[in-house]
Structure 1
Amino acid sequence: MPRLYAGQQLRALRLSAGLNQRAMAARLGLSVSYLSQLETGERPLTPAVTTALARHYPQALAAIEGEAPARRLAALGEALADPALTPLDADEAARLAEERPAVADRLIALHAAKRAAEERLAIAEESMTTGTGARLPWEAVRDWFHEAGNYVDRLDRAAETLATQPGFSAAEALQRHGVTLATDSDEDAPLARFDGATLTLNAALPPESRRFLIAHRLAATAFAREIEAIVAGADVVGAEARRLLAVGLANYAAGALVMPYAAFRAEALRLRHDIDRLCRSFTVSFEQACHRLSTLQRSGAEGVPFFFCRVDMAGNITKRHSATRLQFARFGGACPLWHVHEAAAIPDRILVQHAETPDGVRYISMAKGLVKPSGSFARSPRRYAVVLGCEATHAADFVYADAVDRTRAPTPIGISCRLCPRDDCDQRAFPPTDRAIAVEPAVRRVVPYRVV
């Protein structure tokens, strides 16, 4: 196979990602001098470099060497990262993909089947717990966004085009659509109410929430045709699910209006994803900024792949999305060793965790407890926590990684107790669904059984 030189493409990729050579070299696991030689065309791409590009920039690699080989190598790398398989180094994986593509494709298919089986196990867990395997409307919509990669290109680009017009104001744009704004001082009033002509907002709303709700109504009005077309083509069943999807799409577009893609992505990279600084730059809430970071998956201009979720005081996951290999339980609580639970109990304090999932992948995550004021002493405020994280290989782009010592052993976490294969966890609440247990009355353990 002829050697491949891609200096200009590598340099263009680095600049589009907003990285200097040191940061790019760290992300790809190279020395700065070696990256410089690659960019100047002094050296060709090696299997190790190709594997690193496949992991972090699969779209760019596809453009460099062709779509099918790049996709195969990226998928093979993910499959071989599974601890159930004997690990291969980068050179061996690249040779396997190149010289034995049929074998590589079979490994990829087996890995996909394994992941599908895990998904079916999660559904079986839900069916066992709730008594039904059917998805509720909000679950169907949540899964639709997850399957879409939490990125809706048509809406995102339309919102960015509108938001970047000179002198853009969502409130003024909404008024041009014939909608007037009003304020309701009644503390029991809904957060927002729209009667077809007037958008009435609760007076107790903080500025960032007020701004977002105005953007939501503008999106629902200005992009009504786009939203209707997406809903019509969506694989969700039932009128309520379709209405929820339309609301979710308007929410998505609202986030894209207040945080336009290119500007937000560039600022996030510049600030190493410091959420508080992003909030000040775009006048958004902490949760809004975290959620938006999880949507930056535009082809050719991807952001750092993050996972994001919101957890209530009971440990229920009320929002979830992952652009990483980490997947959340379909319902209920998360791993008790996850720092998000502690964050929910301690508002306005950022906690950082270095964790490892059963598949051997390590993550850096940031969690913060938040309180949404109710506007009245008579009503309790809403308390919850949000968590944002990425694989540890992206630590250089995640300012919160500076707070952890990654030379120390990471915290072992799982998805949920019923799905976690770890047999030595002192925090286990339930045995794994697919494993047998042994009860030994003469032996006292933290839990009254042993996973076998």
Structure 2
Amino acid sequence: MARHPLFAGKALRALRTRRALRQADMAQALGISASYLSQLENDERPLTAGLVDALGATFPVDWADLAPPAADELAEALRAALADPHLAASNPSAPHALTGPPSEQIERLARQFPDLARQVVQLHGLYTQTRHRLDMMDDTIGASLAAGGRLPWEEARDWFHQANNYVDTIDRGAEELAARIGGGEPSPDIAQMQHWLSGEGVSVVWRGGGPVRRYDPERRVLTLDSIQPLESSRFQLAYQVCVTALADEIASIVDAAPLRSEAARHLLAVGLGNYAAGALTMPYEAFRQAARALRHDVDRLRQPFHTSFEQTCHRLSTLQRPQARGIPVFFYRVDMAGNVTKRHSATRLQFGRYGGACPLWIVHEAVAIPDRIHVQLAEMPDKVRYVSIAKGLVKPSGSYYRPPRRYAVALGCEAALASEFVYADGLNLTSEDAVARIGASCRTCPRDTCDQRAFPPSDKAIRVDPAERDRVPYRIVAD
């Protein structure tokens, strides 16, 4: 089975243009000569396996979008299996533990021993299924399940998770709508959206107190609470614009979704309306370009789009449009009790859905100390490291007798992309002592030396010695 030569001149030129690099700069980053790069860009020479690895390591986000499809599907499947960070965590001292073997070795194995390669891919699939079952067991233990399965909001939330938190039809529709309404501005303002709604026969009434948003379809009157922050009012106005303009698209998606209850379908419709409102106030391409240019500085990024800190973080987690992705980030919202109330991750980081997130995670400190950005370099048990920020937020209630809502939002990316994330600038990314070693939840975390465990992992035995008391009153028995 001969290896097919991979010519990628168009993709290389597109990558260099996207990053505004000269040929000499890009060649230096890849460790090749400028003349060699010129030959590659003109399809005079094919990419070598080593250069494919170098491109993926040097430009991980851009190359994932622009790379031509590999000719050998078996080699690609084997590459993905052997690069699984959970395998690296089981043998961290092995060569290439964190990156997987070089492409040349993988292709040789797939070419010379295809049956063995297929078995490795199948074993990895079985291993992944087993790991997912353990995660589901953690979810089940933490959840109060309704009769017959998941609760409605779990169904709706899982739908977005399966969609990778990107809905192309809604996103593109909202982007086109923003261009029509906004009049050349980065984002439509309140007056422009009210004017558009009036053209649809909808009146807007502002009133202090009451529901955040209420729409009367018979009178075609939208009532908004004037006490809420301006960004929140603007978002609720954008919601009504989107559910009016994109009603057919939202209904079509809800009808096709495999949801079992009417409540779940209503929740999905609301979720799609909220998604569209975020896409209207932060149009995809303008927002993505600004995010890259500002290196994801949330406070600077929210200014031209007039959005809140939380809205901006949430939108960053949706930038998954094919061939135009943002950097993969995770976004979480945690309340005062530690419950994860929102979670969207385009990274490999996954925390439990029902609370019980690792107490060492910076987000818990942020809840207690609001209005300050906390930064952390953390490592999960699979050895993948993340740069994350967390900020505690307080939403006013408008009344002394109603306590304000307090929570924290977290945003982060893998440490390999730290150069794209402004918050990594003050971190020592090479210091082992600077890394917080966290886990998804105590029930699934394999760390046997953590002194902040709430309970032992559910798949391991423990030993209790009445004569000895350490910080945790038991020891985890190794496999």
- Give the TM-score, by structure 2 length: 0.86
Q: Which residue of 2 aligns with 1:437?
A: 462
Q: Which residue of 1 aligns with 2:271?
A: 248
Where in structure 2 are the equivalents of 1:160-175 lying within 5 Å?
160-165=175-180, 167=183, 169-175=192-198
Q: Which residue of 1 aligns with 2:442?
A: 417
Equivalent AA in structure 2 for residue 301 of structure 1: A
Q: C-alpha separation between the residues in 2 aligned to 1:207 and 1:38?
A: 54
Q: C-alpha separation between the residues in 2 aligned to 1:327 and 1:193?
A: 35
Q: C-alpha separation between the residues in 2 aligned to 1:284 and 1:99?
A: 55
Q: Which residue of 1 aligns with 2:214?
A: 193
Q: C-alpha separation between the residues in 2 aligned to 1:236 and 1:52?
A: 43
391 and 163 in structure 1: CA distance in 2 versus 1, 3 angstrom threshold: same
1:107 aligns with 2:120: yes
Post-superposition Cα deviations, 1:338-364, rounded to whole Å, max 9, x if no partner, equal: 001001111111111111110111111
Q: Which residue of 1 aligns with 2:17?
A: 15
Equivalent AA in structure 2 for residue 47 of structure 1: A
Match of 2:206, SS state, is strand
Q: C-alpha separation between the residues in 2 aligned to 1:70 and 1:12?
A: 25
Match of 1:119, SS state, is helix
Q: Which residue of 2 aligns with 1:46?
A: 48
Where in structure 2 are the equivalents of 1:282-301 lying within 5 Å?
282-301=305-324
Equivalent AA in structure 1 for residue 446 of structure 2: P
Shift of 1:404: 0.7
1:79 aligns with 2:84: yes
1:127 aligns with 2:140: yes
Q: Is the 8 A contact 2:75 2:110 kept in 1?
A: no
Q: C-alpha separation between the residues in 2 aligned to 1:14 and 1:70?
A: 27
Q: Is the 8 A contact 2:396 2:404 kept in 1?
A: yes
Count residues with an aligned counterpart: 445
Equivalent AA in structure 2 for residue 72 of structure 1: A
40 and 253 in structure 1: CA distance in 2 versus 1, 3 angstrom threshold: same
Shift of 1:3: 4.5
Q: C-alpha separation between the residues in 2 aligned to 1:102 and 1:216?
A: 53
Where in structure 2 are the equivalents of 1:375-390 lying within 5 Å?
375-390=398-413
205 and 436 in structure 1: CA distance in 2 versus 1, 3 angstrom threshold: same
The counterpart of 2:153, out of the listed 138, 163, 169, is: 138
Same amino acid, percent of matched pairs: 50
Shift of 1:53: 4.8
Q: Which residue of 1 aligns with 2:102?
A: 90
Between stretches 298-307 and 128-137, larger displacement belongs to: 128-137
402 and 178 in structure 1: CA distance in 2 versus 1, 3 angstrom threshold: same
Shift of 1:245: 0.2
Match of 1:237, SS state, is coil
Shift of 1:247: 0.2
Post-superposition Cα deviations, 1:224-267, rounded to whole Å, max 9, x if no partner, equal: 11111111111221000000000000100111000011000000
* Runs of at least 5 residues in structure 1 that lack an aligned partner in the other structure: none
Q: Which residue of 2 aligns with 1:58?
A: 64
Where in structure 2 are the equivalents of 1:191-270 lying within 5 Å?
191-196=212-217, 197-270=220-293
Between stretches 115-124 and 431-440, larger displacement belongs to: 115-124
131 and 281 in structure 1: CA distance in 2 versus 1, 3 angstrom threshold: closer
Q: C-alpha separation between the residues in 1 aligned to 2:50 and 2:32?
A: 12
Q: Is the 8 A contact 1:437 1:449 kept in 2?
A: yes
Shift of 1:194: 0.7
77 and 273 in structure 1: CA distance in 2 versus 1, 3 angstrom threshold: farther
80 and 35 in structure 1: CA distance in 2 versus 1, 3 angstrom threshold: farther
Post-superposition Cα deviations, 1:107-163, rounded to whole Å, max 9, x if no partner, equal: 333333323322222322333344648211111111110110000011111111111
Match of 1:199, SS state, is strand
1:324 aligns with 2:335: no
Equivalent AA in structure 1 for residue 278 of structure 2: G
Equivalent AA in structure 2 for residue 150 of structure 1: N
* Runs of at least 5 residues in structure 2 that lack an aligned partner in the other structure: none
Looking at CA atoms only, which structure, 1 or 2, has the larger radius of gyration? 2
Between stretches 5-14 and 373-382, larger displacement belongs to: 5-14
Equivalent AA in structure 1 for residue 51 of structure 2: V
Q: C-alpha separation between the residues in 1 aligned to 2:260 and 2:389?
A: 35
Equivalent AA in structure 2 for residue 445 of structure 1: D
Between stretches 109-118 and 358-367, larger displacement belongs to: 109-118
- Alpha-carbon RMSD across the aligned residues, in angstroms, is 2.6
1:372 aligns with 2:395: yes
Q: Is the 8 A contact 2:65 2:324 kept in 1?
A: no
- Give the TM-score, by structure 1 length: 0.91
